[in-house]
């Protein structure tokens, strides 16, 4: 996979933030199909970010970044679905996973950015 034409570090992170907001909007609309579509776009964004950072920073851990970001987004999407379906205990488990993952993700980003 190649870095998307015109991809820039700030633009991809802005897109990521926009998509997270779109995910929240899909949840408020109670639209599980849209939640899944936004989740897929977030996954694509993660792959693009990993490729871009790998091309920008020698030795950047692309696979670790993709894995951590994928876990982060996956837990967020799953928690959203659980809350939409009133599955409070499952949503709480997702939130715990998300919090633990956030610590690892923060450590990686602090090291590289």
Q: At 53, list the tokens.
A: 């950072």
Whether the Cβ atoms of residue 101 and residue 75 lie closer than 8 Å to each other: yes
Measured CA to CA, the distance from residue 5 to residue 60 in angstroms comes to 20
Q: What is the pLDDT of residue 9?
A: 64
Measured CA to CA, the distance from residue 108 to residue 113 in angstroms comes to 8
Q: What is the pLDDT of residue 6?
A: 47
What does the domain layout of the chain look like in residue ranges? Answer: 9-112
Mean pLDDT by 10 residues, the chain (113 residues): 58 92 92 93 95 92 95 89 89 89 92 87
């Amino acid at each position: 996979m190649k870095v998307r034409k015109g991809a820039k570090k700030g633009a991809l992170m802005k897109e990521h933030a926009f998509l997270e907001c779109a995910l929240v909007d899909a949840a408020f609309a109670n639209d599980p199909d849209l939640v899944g579509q936004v989740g897929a776009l977030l996954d694509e964004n993660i792959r693009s970010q990993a490729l871009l950072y790998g091309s920008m920073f020698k030795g950047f851990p692309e696979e670790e970044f993709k894995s951590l970001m994928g876990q982060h987004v996956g837990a967020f999407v799953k928690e959203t679905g659980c809350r939409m379906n009133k599955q409070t205990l499952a949503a709480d488990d997702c939130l715990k996973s998300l919090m633990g993952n956030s610590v690892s993700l923060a450590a990686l980003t602090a090291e590289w950015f």
